[in-house]
Amino acid sequence: MKNTAADIQRWSEEVARDPRSLAFLPLARAYRRQGLRDAAMQLCLRGLQAYPSHAEAHGLLAMLYLDAGDHERAADEWSMVLRVDADNFDALRGIGFCYLEQDRLSRARQSLERAALIRPSDPTVQEALRVLGTRQDLVAGGISGPATAGADDPWSGEAGPFSAAHVPSPTAPEAQPAADDTRGSGMTFTFEPVPEDSAAEPDAVPPAEPEQAPGGTGRTDDASAQHGTGVTGDPTRLFDEMMRDGPLLGALMVDAHGLVLAGRLAGGNAGDAELVGAVLCSAVDEAVRTVQHLGLGAWEGMLVETDEALLHIAPVAEGAAVVLAARLRTPPGWLLRLASQAADRAAAWVEAYA
């Protein structure tokens, strides 16, 4: 849908008159379409001060960061969207593509498969899943990617202000993967995550680019990423050192969707851990919303006392959280300190395995 000059004028006046006006959102979208990225970003950031949980504003900000080539912040904003709306298709797809570009294959699959459940016929998601399958097959076959940079950021193509597109190198066909390039597969997918105004968006496609994880990290597969981190193989044992002594009943790391990534409950089975992770993390959104609305700054954790245990939940990175469960009458200060250690350990794990 194209916006008229009169629309823009009206929204602009509304925002000038009332800084809390929700007109900031269509105005920011219009600015983005006009290529006024900084102005659009300012509007979004100001709007989010008034409405910290506004999913559409976070989604638009993600696109603006993406336009600016800042994929990490784009992914952060999509994470915020998913905190508010766990089934947001654009955010799942966007963050899935970011993970895919960074060769964080497990997380990419998790997000893209959720996106595919919501819109099974979306061709970009299907294409991305196909690419993902190819890469995982190659990784499973022992072919790893380059360990150093030497290629451009795959998101940095000259896409128009309304789309980012990724066209992997056609010189590395799927059937004949080069030993130093696991990702070239001749596939193409295009990312256009702002569908509400898609008619106004040009079909910009950047030139083909060499394949390489952003920042030249050279991360090539989930298994090899762990080398040198000190984080060992079995994810269920990530926190075992902490559980060896003392009153800890369990320690889990869960992702933004409440799925257990690592850790275990002492004496419990995997099903118990999944239940605890999923159910307790459902309260995280509420905690984040509360501190944001009350102007208490960033959420750093939540201590919960129950009839049977003392629990602590704290954010780690990328929407993940660490849940600790300790025996009743455990000193809360001790649990808070342990939570800090657990968060460090979890962050290292995320870095190694994500």
Partner 1 sequence: MSETFGAVVEQLSRIPGVRGAVIAEKDAGVAVVQELAEGVNGNALAALAASLFRRTAHAGRASGFGAVSLVQLEAAGGHLLAVEAGELVLVVVAEQGAQLGLIRLEAARAGKSLA
Decide: is 296 part of the binding site for partner 1 (CB under 8 A).
yes
Query: In Å, how far are 46, 106, 196, 232, 278 from 353, measured between CA atoms?
Result: 35, 9, 35, 10, 20
Q: Is 199 in the site for partner 1 (CB under 8 A)?
A: no
Q: Distance of alpha carbon 246 from its chain centroid, rounded?
A: 34
Among 65, 78, 99, 299, binds partner 1 (CB under 8 A): 299
Judge residue 113's burial from the number of C-beta atoms within 10 Å of its C-beta, 0-12 exposed, 13-18 middle, 19 or more buried: middle
The site for partner 1, by CB under 8 A, has a size of 34
Assess 140 for contact with partner 1 (CB under 8 A): no
Amino acid identity at 143: I
Are β-strands 309-315 and 260-265 bridged in parallel, bridged antiparallel, or unpaired?
Answer: unpaired
Stretch that binds partner 1, among 106-114, 141-149, 235-243, 279-287 (CB under 8 A): 279-287
Place of tokens 């290529």: 35
Nearer to partner 1, 32 or 312 (CB): 312
Of 109-117, 143-151, 211-219, 289-297, which part binds partner 1 (CB under 8 A)?
289-297
CB of 114 to partner 1, least distance (A): 22
Q: Which is nearer to partner 1, 133 or 331 (CB)?
A: 331
9, 171, 232, 282: residue in contact with partner 1 (rule CB under 8 A) = 282
Q: How far is the CB of 127 from partner 1 (least distance, A)?
A: 38
Cβ at position 238, least distance to partner 1 in Å:
20
How many whole angstroms separate alpha carbon 286 and alpha carbon 60? 23
Rg (CA), the chain: 22
Instruction: Say if residues 20 and 14 touch (Cβ distance below 8 Å).
Output: no
Q: Is 149 in the site for partner 1 (CB under 8 A)?
A: no
Residue whose CB is less far from partner 1, 205 or 291? 291
CB of 270 to partner 1, least distance (A): 14
Among positions 57-76, residues that touch partner 1 (CB under 8 A) are none
**Count of CB atoms situated within 10 Å of the CB of 317:** 15
Smallest distance, Å, CB 167 to partner 1? 42
Contact pick of 22, 149, 200, 291 for partner 1 (by CB under 8 A): 291
Is the CB of 52 or the CB of 160 nearer to partner 1? 52
Neighbours of 39 (CB within 10 A): 15
3-state secondary structure 229-289: CCCCCCHHHCCHHHHHCCCEEEEEEECCCCCEEEEEECCCCHHHHHHHHHHHHCCHHHHHH
Stretch that binds partner 1, among 65-73, 92-100, 205-213, 281-289 (CB under 8 A): 281-289
Query: Other C-beta atoms within 10 Å of 156: how many?
Result: 14
Distance of CA 142 to the CA centre of its chain: 27
Strand partners, 264: 251
Minimum CB separation from partner 1 for residue 255, in Å?
17
Question: Which region among 38-46, 79-87, 184-192, 292-300 touches partner 1 (by CB under 8 A)?
Answer: 292-300
Interface with partner 1 by CB under 8 A: which residues?
272, 275-276, 279-280, 282-283, 286-287, 289-291, 293-309, 311, 325, 332-333, 336
